[in-house]
Homo-oligomer: A and B are copies of this chain.
Protein backbone atom coordinates (compact mmCIF):
# COMPACT_ATOMS: atom_id res chain seq x y z
CA UNK A 1 0.00 0.00 0.00
CA UNK A 2 0.91 3.70 -0.10
CA UNK A 3 0.95 3.47 -3.85
CA UNK A 4 -2.51 3.92 -5.24
CA UNK A 5 -3.99 3.89 -8.70
CA UNK A 6 -6.40 6.68 -9.49
CA UNK A 7 -9.28 4.27 -9.03
CA UNK A 8 -8.12 3.20 -5.59
CA UNK A 9 -7.49 6.80 -4.58
CA UNK A 10 -10.91 7.90 -5.76
CA UNK A 11 -12.59 5.08 -3.89
CA UNK A 12 -10.76 5.76 -0.65
CA UNK A 13 -11.57 9.46 -0.81
CA UNK A 14 -15.14 8.74 -1.90
CA UNK A 15 -15.02 10.81 -5.05
CA UNK A 16 -15.33 9.94 -8.74
CA UNK A 17 -12.26 9.18 -10.85
CA UNK A 18 -13.19 11.96 -13.25
CA UNK A 19 -13.33 14.32 -10.31
CA UNK A 20 -9.73 13.53 -9.38
CA UNK A 21 -8.59 14.28 -12.91
CA UNK A 22 -10.74 17.40 -12.93
CA UNK A 23 -9.10 18.62 -9.72
CA UNK A 24 -5.68 18.02 -11.25
CA UNK A 25 -6.66 19.87 -14.41
CA UNK A 26 -7.89 22.81 -12.41
CA UNK A 27 -4.79 23.00 -10.24
CA UNK A 28 -6.34 21.86 -6.99
CA UNK A 29 -4.15 18.77 -6.97
CA UNK A 30 -0.56 18.80 -8.18
CA UNK A 31 0.13 16.75 -11.31
CA UNK A 32 0.37 13.16 -10.18
CA UNK A 33 3.44 11.01 -10.55
CA UNK A 34 3.29 8.55 -13.42
CA UNK A 35 4.28 4.98 -14.12
CA UNK A 36 6.16 4.18 -17.30
CA UNK A 37 2.76 3.36 -18.79
CA UNK A 38 1.46 6.83 -18.07
CA UNK A 39 -0.83 5.62 -15.28
CA UNK A 40 -1.06 8.02 -12.36
CA UNK A 41 0.26 6.92 -8.97
CA UNK A 42 -0.67 8.41 -5.63
CA UNK A 43 0.63 8.24 -2.08
CA UNK A 44 -0.82 8.94 1.33
CA UNK A 45 -0.36 12.69 1.11
CA UNK A 46 -2.50 12.97 -1.99
CA UNK A 47 -5.22 10.95 -0.31
CA UNK A 48 -5.10 13.29 2.64
CA UNK A 49 -5.31 16.32 0.39
CA UNK A 50 -8.24 14.89 -1.52
CA UNK A 51 -10.10 14.23 1.71
CA UNK A 52 -9.30 17.77 2.84
CA UNK A 53 -10.97 19.01 -0.31
CA UNK A 54 -14.02 16.86 0.24
CA UNK A 55 -14.46 18.06 3.81
CA UNK A 56 -13.95 21.69 2.90
CA UNK A 57 -16.56 21.31 0.20
CA UNK A 58 -18.95 19.95 2.82
CA UNK A 59 -18.32 23.13 4.79
CA UNK A 60 -19.51 25.21 1.88
CA UNK A 61 -16.20 26.36 0.43
CA UNK A 62 -15.89 26.70 -3.33
CA UNK A 63 -13.04 24.96 -5.11
CA UNK A 64 -11.33 28.30 -5.53
CA UNK A 65 -11.51 28.95 -1.80
CA UNK A 66 -10.28 25.45 -1.12
CA UNK A 67 -7.26 26.03 -3.34
CA UNK A 68 -6.54 29.10 -1.25
CA UNK A 69 -7.03 27.17 2.00
CA UNK A 70 -4.61 24.50 0.83
CA UNK A 71 -2.00 27.12 0.06
CA UNK A 72 -2.51 28.73 3.45
CA UNK A 73 -2.30 25.33 5.07
CA UNK A 74 1.00 24.64 3.32
CA UNK A 75 2.23 28.04 4.46
CA UNK A 76 0.91 27.33 7.98
CA UNK A 77 -0.71 30.74 7.97
CA UNK A 78 -3.22 30.21 10.73
CA UNK A 79 -4.37 33.81 10.83
CA UNK A 80 -5.43 33.81 7.20
CA UNK A 81 -7.05 30.40 7.51
CA UNK A 82 -9.17 31.71 10.33
CA UNK A 83 -10.02 34.82 8.38
CA UNK A 84 -11.08 32.75 5.38
CA UNK A 85 -13.32 30.64 7.59
CA UNK A 86 -14.86 33.74 9.12
CA UNK A 87 -15.59 35.24 5.73
CA UNK A 88 -17.23 32.00 4.68
CA UNK A 89 -19.24 31.99 7.85
CA UNK A 90 -20.51 35.46 7.06
CA UNK A 91 -21.34 34.33 3.53
CA UNK A 92 -23.30 31.35 4.82
CA UNK A 93 -25.11 33.64 7.23
CA UNK A 94 -26.14 35.93 4.39
CA UNK A 95 -27.52 33.02 2.46
CA UNK A 96 -29.45 31.85 5.50
CA UNK A 97 -30.87 35.34 6.03
CA UNK A 98 -31.98 35.52 2.42
CA UNK A 99 -33.65 32.13 2.57
CA UNK A 100 -35.36 33.02 5.82
CA UNK A 101 -36.71 36.15 4.25
CA UNK A 102 -38.12 34.03 1.44
CA UNK A 103 -39.43 31.47 3.90
CA UNK A 104 -41.38 33.98 5.91
CA UNK A 105 -42.96 35.34 2.75
CA UNK A 106 -43.99 31.89 1.63
CA UNK A 107 -45.18 30.91 5.07
CA UNK A 108 -47.47 33.89 5.31
CA UNK A 109 -48.92 33.21 1.89
CA UNK A 110 -49.53 29.49 2.37
CA UNK A 111 -50.97 30.06 5.81
CA UNK A 112 -53.40 32.63 4.46
CA UNK A 113 -54.51 30.52 1.49
CA UNK A 114 -57.58 28.37 2.18
CA UNK A 115 -56.56 25.98 -0.62
CA UNK A 116 -59.92 26.09 -2.33
CA UNK A 117 -62.44 28.57 -3.58
CA UNK A 118 -62.09 31.43 -6.03
CA UNK A 119 -58.69 32.16 -7.53
CA UNK A 120 -59.33 35.83 -6.77
CA UNK A 121 -59.31 34.96 -3.09
CA UNK A 122 -56.00 33.11 -3.20
CA UNK A 123 -53.38 35.24 -1.45
CA UNK A 124 -50.59 33.45 -3.28
CA UNK A 125 -51.88 34.30 -6.72
CA UNK A 126 -52.77 37.79 -5.56
CA UNK A 127 -49.32 38.43 -4.18
CA UNK A 128 -47.75 37.32 -7.41
CA UNK A 129 -50.14 39.30 -9.58
CA UNK A 130 -50.58 42.50 -7.66
CA UNK A 131 -49.24 45.79 -8.87
CA UNK A 132 -48.12 46.81 -5.44
CA UNK A 133 -45.63 44.16 -4.42
CA UNK A 134 -41.99 44.92 -4.99
**Chain A interface residues (CB < 8 Å from chain B):** 48, 51-52, 55-56, 58-60, 69, 73, 76-79, 81-83, 85-86, 88-89, 92-93, 95-96, 99-100, 102-103, 105-107, 109-110, 113-119, 121-122, 124-125, 127-129, 131, 133-134
Contact = CB atoms under 8 A, between A and B. Distances in A.
A133 B134 CA distance: 45
A134 to B, nearest CB: 8
Copies in the complex: 2
B106 A48 contact: no
Contacts of A52: 128-129
B92 A103 contact: yes
A55 B85 contact: no
A106 B76 contact: no
Nearest to A119: B76
Contacts of A93: 103
